[in-house]
Structures are given as C-alpha cells and as structure tokens.
A and B are shown apart, each in its own frame.
Chain A
Amino acid sequence: MKIVRAGVIILITVAIVLGVSIPMVPKPQSFFEYPIIPGLEEKARNIFFHVPVAWTTVVAFLVSLWYGYRYLRTRDIQYDLKSSASAELGFVFCFLATITGALWAKFNWGSFWNWDPRETSIFVLLLIYGAYFALRSAIDVEETRARLSAVYSILAGLTVPFFIFALPRLVGGLHPGSAGDASGQTPVAQLHMRGLMLLNFFLSMIGFNLLFVWLLNLRVRIARLEYHHSLQSM
C-alpha cells in the first residue's frame, strides 16, 4: 500500500501540474505543448479531472457490486465492509464527477444541467447511492443489512445496460461520442489528444484509480478496527 500511496501522490501531482501549466497552441511543435481541441479550447483542461473521476465512480460502483455478490455467496461480513466502503467512496467520486461535469457543461453547453444521457445516468447513480445508504440505515440487524443492501445494489446494477443502450435513444446527447455528435463516434482521447496531453490523461486516469484503491484500503482498515473494537466491548 505504501507504493500505491506514493503512486497516488506522484501521479496526481504530476497530472495537476502538467494539466494546468502546459500551454495550448493550435499546432503543437514541441513535446511540451497541448493541441487545442476545437470547441473546447482552454476548458479542455478539465478532461484531466472530470473523466478520471467519472471513470473511478463507475469502478467504485462495480467493486461495491462485486463485494456485495461475494458477501451473498460466502456470508463473510468482511465483504460487506468492503462493499459499503466502496459505495461510500463511489458516492464521493460520483459527487465530484457531477460537480466538475456541471461546471464544464455551464461553460461549454450553456447551462449547468441538460439531461444529456450521461448526466441523467450519473444523477440516477447518485439516487441509487442515496437509496442504498437509506436502506442500510433502516435495517438494524447487521447480517440482514449486509444481505439486503447487496441484493439492492445488484438489482440496481442490472439497470446499467438500459442507461447505456436505451437512454440515448430517448434523449439527445451532448457528450462526445453521442449519436449526432459532429466529431463522430470516437472518444476524444483518440481523436484529438496527442503526445503529452494523452500521456497526462492516462497518468491522471491511473492516479485517480490508485487514489480509490488507497482510500478503499484505509476505509476498510478503519471499518475492521471498529468491528474488532465493538467485538471487544461486548
């Protein structure tokens, strides 16, 4: 975990420093210049934060779901600690992704919220986390709480394909890659990012995912200590 912690500090620091300081020019000549992406300009710097945070949100949700499933199979309460810890972090990342996304939307698309499919999806994900924590607080018996909240998160996870495949048919998309987007179907990373910008993007991606791993580890260790403390005080 020490390596992970060092990695988090180095990667995120580098990503922030490079992300903020490197100049943007129309036709980059040297390695230390970013290309200007048409329509985004300087606002493109948010890509180093918003996209990794949003991605980590999805990872945290899937990790929580996986540990929930493991709990149901094994009935080992350790997995519930991990599942709920991952959900707590997922909620924080989800919140950050919503904020960074809303700011970006305000300056790029004109308003903080547009009910674009991905905005709708992340809003529903916030609601799922809200419901998950509300359910957990409404059940007194620990084993029942672990069991039912795991079932709920898996059930909520079953709706994910509908948000990915069915929702874009119903509401118009603004994110790059949506149907009808001028730049076509390819993600921004492949289309416009070059050289250092692409490298910085992936450094940030890895950095935020490691941040999640490190925080999850801390949170689970705290939960374990609390668990053993409550065992001793009984």
Chain B
Amino acid sequence: MMTLAVQAKNLQKDFNRRTIFKGISFELGEQRSLVVTGKNGSGKSTLVKIVAGLLSATKGSVEYRTGNTNVSIDDIRDRIGFVSPYLNLYDEFDAVENIKVLSSIRSSSVPTDSAIQTMLERVGIAARARNLVRTYSSGMKQRLKYAVAAIHKPDLLILDEPTANLDEEGAAVVRSFVREQEERGILVVATNDPAEIRWGKIIVRL
C-alpha cells in the first residue's frame, strides 16, 4: 500500500464569529509525528478534528496524498484511527461486537476472531469482552477505543487526550501503540502532558 502524507495549509477555524486559530501549516509524512498543544479552549481538539475530516476549516485546507496522487478524505477513511473522549462506542453492544460492527462500517475487511482476541488481550479487557460496554468503567471504554482505532493498522492514528481515564498499566499500553505507530505511519496527538509532548517531531502550540 502506498504511504500516506498529510499537508495542512494555512488553517483557520472560526466559531460563532470568533477565530479560534489561524495560519496553521504543517506537513506530515511517514514516521513523522505531530503534537498539538495549548491551553484549554485554544482549539486542540478542533485542529485534530479538521485533520481527521470531522470538521471543515473556515479557511485553508488539508490535503491527503498516497504516493504521488492527491486523494480526498473520503478515500482514506478506512486508513485512519482516532481515539478521543468525544468519539463514543455503542453502549448496547459488547467489546467484540463493537469491534466487528465498527470495522465492517469502516471497510470491507472485518478482522478475524483471533485478531480481535489478540487485540483485546493487548489492551487488557479480554476478560470482559462479552460484557456490554454499558457496564464498563471509563478507563475500560478508553482501552476499547484503542482496540477499535488500531485493529486495522491505520496509516494515520490520532489521539486526543491519549491517557485520559487510564491507570499506569493503561498508559503503558498507550505508549506501545505510540511506538508502533511511529514505525508504521503518521501519529497526531493533542495533549498538554509534558511527557506526551515529547512524542512529537513537529509541535504546534496554539
């Protein structure tokens, strides 16, 4: 598969007549990680949402390239993984169902049962795999979000508040995903944690 590159040009976002940020540009290719940081309300989440195609920018653009061809965000939605507090899972399904359902909406390649099992063991919720997500603690939900976001080995992994709600063991799991992503493709992180800011080769301060 052709490697993915992302280029943001002069991004600006207005919200209710207020400019949140403007003039943001960066270029991300393979093994280049970006950290977005800034105080509360500075638009960290807004910026990573724009990169993931969840929001459109008021001015400027985000361009995606595979190899040398420009592609639209809709062509690469199955190559993105995103973990954040505002991307919820389905409460009425269990962990395995969530992974299967969300993967099959995302693309035609549904992961095998053993791949799901391996992933759930890696994030540490295999024991509760058949319980409804409704019964999970917020930390367990966060772990399951990582399973959903990483099961298809995304070229672009976006993490907003990566270790929110997680204990030390959970944070270690996150660091293993981060290292793996640095090898595989592009990592984008929005955080204010000093240790996590060091993950970025490029740092955008809003």
Contacts and interface: CB of A to CB of B under 8 A. Distances in A.
Nearest to B13: A143
Contacts of A106: none
A190 interface: no
Interface of B: 14-18, 56, 58
Given A141-B16, A231-B17, 6 more contacts: A75-B58, A141-B15, A142-B16, A143-B15, A143-B16, A234-B17
A232 B75 CA distance: 41
B21 to A, nearest CB: 16
A137 interface: no
Interface string A221-234: 00000010011001
8 contacts: A75-B58, A141-B15, A141-B16, A142-B17, A143-B14, A143-B16, A227-B17, A234-B17
Contact of A230 (B14, B15, B17, B58): B17
Contacts of A230: 17
A227 B17 CA distance: 9
B204 to A, nearest CB: 23
A107 to B, nearest CB: 50
A182 to B, nearest CB: 57
Interface in A199-234: 227, 230-231, 234
B99 to A, nearest CB: 32
Nearest to A231: B17
B58 A234 contact: no
A231 B14 CA distance: 12
Contacts of B18: 234
Contacts of A143: 14-16
Nearest to A145: B16
A92 B14 CA distance: 33
Nearest to A227: B17
Contacts of A140: 16
B151 to A, nearest CB: 33
A141 B14 CA distance: 11
**4 nearest A-B pairs in the assembled complex, by CB-CB distance:** A142-B16, A141-B16, A231-B17, A230-B17
Interface in A178-202: none
Interface string A118-144: 000000000000000000000011110
A96 B15 CA distance: 37
Contacts of B58: 75
Nearest to A140: B16
A227 B14 CA distance: 14
A101 B183 CA distance: 74
A150 to B, nearest CB: 15
Contacts of A234: 17-18
B43 to A, nearest CB: 15
A234 B18 CA distance: 8
A227 B58 CA distance: 17
B56 to A, nearest CB: 8
A117 to B, nearest CB: 41
A143 B18 CA distance: 11
A143 B17 CA distance: 9
A141 B56 CA distance: 15
Nearest to B59: A75
